[in-house]
Amino acid sequence: MSKNTRPLILVTNDDGMFAPGIKRLVEIARHMGEVIVVAPNSPQSAKGHAVTLADPIRLNQVDVFNGIEAYECSGTPVDCVKLAKNILLKNRKIDLCVSGINHGSNASINIIYSGTMSAAMEASIEGIHSIGFSLEDYAMDANFDPGTPWIRLIIEHVLSNGLADSKLLNVNIPHSSLGPIRGMKICRQAEGRWEEEFVEGVDPRGQKFYWLTGNFATNDTVEGTDISALREGFISIVPSSHDLTHHRAIPALKSLESIKHIV
Amino acid sequence: MSKNTRPLILVTNDDGMFAPGIKRLVEIARHMGEVIVVAPNSPQSAKGHAVTLADPIRLNQVDVFNGIEAYECSGTPVDCVKLAKNILLKNRKIDLCVSGINHGSNASINIIYSGTMSAAMEASIEGIHSIGFSLEDYAMDANFDPGTPWIRLIIEHVLSNGLADSKLLNVNIPHSSLGPIRGMKICRQAEGRWEEEFVEGVDPRGQKFYWLTGNFATNDTVEGTDISALREGFISIVPSSHDLTHHRAIPALKSLESIKHIV
């Protein structure tokens, strides 16, 4: 960005405009740059990297952040970023995208399901430095105070230093019940999965249905993982990438290249 | 799997049960194992890793594949895999999940948006060997014949040898207009992005809307990428992972760990 202008910061989330988490993130960001908010008009948790192709998308300007330019979007979190970049900020360079603060952890495998992190990743695919913030607390009245100065520090760090080799950070903040935040750990994503249960029921029209529920499970709690950092009361920061190649698996498959003809 | 039983193969996709691509994949798989099909009951392209949390999901057994057990699912491609594993195949080990054959390429960044690849990835998160197949042709009457023996060979390879260090393959087959398939290349995911345009319009009620369209763009066509392999007439195979950690970006961020208190 030019030395004479404030950085342009795009704020988004997956919980919508009225979630306390995005309100806090806007409050932090507005002191650090020019802020524009584009967030979904309905809850979009677990929407992953979904994009709306088969339907029109709408934008509706709203005044909920005391003078900050803000738009509700009828699409997914990824749609929000696409519309912000292509329609609302056409031709302007976005210096940073921040997504969240999510109500609930996006550590470990949750990065893949999360609308919050998918919005941040979409920005990073577009070459925009991007950070997703999540608090390990699903409650709508979750306490964002302990994490606030750390979020400010991380944003300042990225605005000042960039992200070198990376474009995307997955930042998770421990639940406030764990006591004062002990610092930050730069981590890898822990292995983990959801142990699903489906509640089975019958609807009023007599049709059977399944309703997804479950619990996150992991055994990968060694030092160096995001889950380990959070359990010890640290903020976890995982530099993340949209390159899904499993590079070290390439050599074992190379023998297939020798096959040139099959019948 | 036990030597005395046929491998159990889950087939899914994102285009739904009546797409020619899944029909071909079922035809291939039924000669190689016991097949169960669970596919969405509506088009689910570009749904990414979305999961249905806020609504009930329904399964409807259908007879479209000449005696093969098959279910339509009202949810996303990822929901299909979750229901197959947890409800339909409870307690049975799934030896392989195959997803597709998608009508359209899922090379490069498309792996992240694709419902086909997200279904395959969901299986891999569950520890199931998994392969997503896509043909570089969006047409519903695309020609799946040239790719068929290669798909059979890749499935046989994975059933016989497993996937060693990986659990997931992203397999793309070149458009038949490029001539005979020249073989297979083990690749990394090319860098790429969608150059979006939004068609702007006004609906019959006078409300403005945006409709997403665009073109895939990449400059990363060097040898070793999936895009390069496809352009040269080879099938691209990218071993892929749900670990999104950008490992080599960790050291540059380590200095943040020295900050222990902030005000």
SS3 string, B195-251, reads EEEEEEEECCCCCEEEEEEEEEECCCCCCCEHHHHHHCCCEEEEEECCCCECHHHHH
Which tokens is A93 given? 């360079």
Residue B263 confidence (pLDDT):
66
Please indicate, yes or no, if residue A181 is contained in any of the structural domains. Answer: yes
Please indicate, yes or no, if residue A201 is contained in any of the structural domains. Answer: no
Reduce the DSSP state of residue A255 to 3 states and report it: helix
Strands A208-217 and A193-202: antiparallel
Q: Across the strands, what pairs with A8?
A: A34
In tens, the pLDDT along A127-181 reads 999 999 999 999 989 999 999 999 999 999 999 999 877 799 999 999 999 999 9
Strands A69-73 and A184-186: unpaired
Residue B54 has a CB neighbour count (10 Å cut-off) of 11
Q: Is B81 a residue whose pLDDT tops 90?
A: yes
- How distant is the Cα of A169 from the closest Cα of chain B, in angstroms? 9
Instruction: Determine if the peptide bond prior to A101 is cis (ω within 30°).
Output: yes
Contacts of B249 in chain A (CB under 8 A): 163-166, 239, 241
Cβ–Cβ under 8 Å, residues A75 and A52: yes
Q: What is the CATH number of the domain that holds B168?
A: 3.40.1210.10
* Smallest CA–CA distance from B123 into chain A, residue: A193
* Smallest CA–CA distance from B252 into chain A, residue: A164
- Cα separation, B237 vs B30, in Å, equals 23
- How distant is the Cα of A47 from the closest Cα of chain B, in angstroms? 4
| Beta-carbon separation of B183 and A260 below 8 A | yes
| Beta-carbon separation of A259 and B184 below 8 A | yes
* Smallest CA–CA distance from A50 into chain B, residue: B47
Contacts of B164 in chain A (CB under 8 A): 249, 252
- Cα separation, B131 vs A143, in Å, equals 43
| Beta-carbon separation of A245 and B253 below 8 A | no
Please indicate, yes or no, if residue A199 is contained in any of the structural domains. Answer: no
| Beta-carbon separation of A57 and B211 below 8 A | yes
Tell the burial category of A193 from Cβ atoms under 10 Å away from its Cβ (0-12, 13-18, 19+).
Answer: middle
Reduce the DSSP state of residue B190 to 3 states and report it: coil
Cβ–Cβ under 8 Å, residues B38 and A191: no
Which of A41, A44, A112, A226 to substitute to test the interface with B, most B CBs within 10 Å?
A112
In tens, the pLDDT along A180-206 reads 999 999 999 999 999 988 999 999 999
A94 or B196, which is more confident?
A94
State the residue for tokens 């998308």. A57
Q: What pTM does this model have? A: 0.95
Residue B166 confidence (pLDDT):
76
Residue B219 confidence (pLDDT):
94
Contacts of B187 in chain A (CB under 8 A): 245, 250
Sequence-distant (6+) residues with CB within 8 A of A64 are A17, A18, A70
Q: In one letter, which amino acid is A103?
A: H
Contacts of B222 in chain A (CB under 8 A): none
Please indicate, yes or no, if residue A166 is contained in any of the structural domains. Answer: yes
Residue A4 confidence (pLDDT):
56
| Beta-carbon separation of B197 and A47 below 8 A | no
User: Chain A to chain B, count of Cβ pairs less than 8 Å apart?
Assistant: 244
Angle at B146 between CA B144 and CA B150, to 5 degrees: 100
Q: Could you say which DSSP state residue A17 is in?
A: T
Q: Is B67 a residue whose pLDDT tops 90?
A: yes
Q: Is A90 a residue whose pLDDT tops 70?
A: yes
Q: Is B3 a residue whose pLDDT tops 80?
A: no
Please indicate, yes or no, if residue B176 is contained in any of the structural domains. Answer: yes
- Cα separation, B148 vs B140, in Å, equals 16
Alpha-carbon B173 to chain mean position: 13
Please indicate, yes or no, if residue B201 is contained in any of the structural domains. Answer: no
Reported as a pLDDT band with limits 50, 70 and 90, residue B5 is confident
Cβ–Cβ under 8 Å, residues A186 and A226: no
Torsion, Cα of A50, A76, B57, B122 (10° steps): 30
Which stretches of A30-169 are DSSP H helices? 77-83, 110-113, 115-125, 148-161
Beta strands in chain A (DSSP E): 8-12, 34-40, 59-62, 69-73, 96-103, 130-135, 168-173, 184-186, 193-202, 208-217, 235-240
Q: Is B152 a residue whose pLDDT tops 80?
A: yes
Cβ–Cβ under 8 Å, residues A189 and A108: yes
Reduce the DSSP state of residue A112 to 3 states and report it: helix
Q: Could you say which DSSP state residue A193 is in?
A: E
| Beta-carbon separation of B184 and A241 below 8 A | no
* Smallest CA–CA distance from A145 into chain B, residue: B263
- Cα separation, B71 vs B19, in Å, equals 14
Residue B73 confidence (pLDDT):
97
Sequence-distant (6+) residues with CB within 8 A of A206 are none
Residue B65 confidence (pLDDT):
96
Which of B42, B45, B51 to substitute to test the interface with A, most A CBs within 10 Å?
B51
In tens, the pLDDT along B235-261 reads 999 999 999 999 999 999 999 999 988
- How distant is the Cα of B175 from the closest Cα of chain A, in angstroms? 17
Tell the burial category of B184 from Cβ atoms under 10 Å away from its Cβ (0-12, 13-18, 19+).
Answer: buried
Percentage of chain B modeled with pLDDT above 90:
91
Q: Is B76 a residue whose pLDDT tops 50?
A: yes
Please, what is the average pLDDT of chain B? 94
Residue A1 confidence (pLDDT):
46
Of A55, A210, A241, the CB nearest to B246: A241
Instruction: Give which of A188, A169, A101, A95 is closest to A139, Cα–Cα.
Output: A101
Cβ–Cβ under 8 Å, residues B13 and B116: yes
* Smallest CA–CA distance from A108 into chain B, residue: B243
In tens, the pLDDT along B99-148 reads 999 999 999 999 999 999 999 999 999 999 999 999 999 998 999 999 99
Reduce the DSSP state of residue A233 to 3 states and report it: coil
Residue B178, domain extent: 8-190+222-243
- How distant is the Cα of B118 from the closest Cα of chain A, in angstroms? 9
Reported as a pLDDT band with limits 50, 70 and 90, residue B2 is very low
Which of B14, B44, B45, B49 to substitute to test the interface with A, most A CBs within 10 Å?
B49
CA distances from B22 to A65, B98, B195 (A): 48, 10, 29
Of B164, B189, B253, the CB nearest to A249: B164
Which of A256, A257, A258, A263 to substitute to test the interface with B, most B CBs within 10 Å?
A256
- Cα separation, B244 vs A230, in Å, equals 18
Which tokens is B258 given? 């020295």
In tens, the pLDDT along A27-75 reads 999 999 999 999 999 989 899 999 999 999 999 999 999 999 999 999 9
Of B46, B186, B257, the CB nearest to A51: B46
Which of B246, B257, B262 to substitute to test the interface with A, most A CBs within 10 Å?
B246
Of B52, B239, B259, the CB nearest to A184: B259
Percentage of chain A modeled with pLDDT above 70:
98
Residue B165 confidence (pLDDT):
72
The kind and range of the H/E element at B69 are: strand B69-73
Reported as a pLDDT band with limits 50, 70 and 90, residue B4 is low
Domain count, chain B: 1
* Smallest CA–CA distance from B154 into chain A, residue: A256
Of B193, B244, B250, the CB nearest to A126: B193
Q: Is A2 a residue whose pLDDT tops 50?
A: no
- How distant is the Cα of A134 from the closest Cα of chain B, in angstroms? 17
| Beta-carbon separation of B109 and A51 below 8 A | no
In tens, the pLDDT along B178-226 reads 999 999 999 999 999 999 889 999 999 999 999 999 999 999 999 999 9
Which tokens is A62 given? 């709203």
Q: Could you say which DSSP state residue B57 is in?
A: B
Instruction: Give which of B139, B13, B119, B133 is closest to B64, Cα–Cα.
Output: B13
- How distant is the Cα of B30 from the closest Cα of chain A, in angstroms? 19
| Beta-carbon separation of B212 and A58 below 8 A | no
Reported as a pLDDT band with limits 50, 70 and 90, residue B1 is very low
Q: Is B91 a residue whose pLDDT tops 90?
A: no
Please indicate, yes or no, if residue B206 is contained in any of the structural domains. Answer: no
Cβ–Cβ under 8 Å, residues B11 and B29: yes
Please indicate, yes or no, if residue A133 is contained in any of the structural domains. Answer: yes
| CA neighbours closer than 13 Å in the CB half-sphere of residue B70 | 21
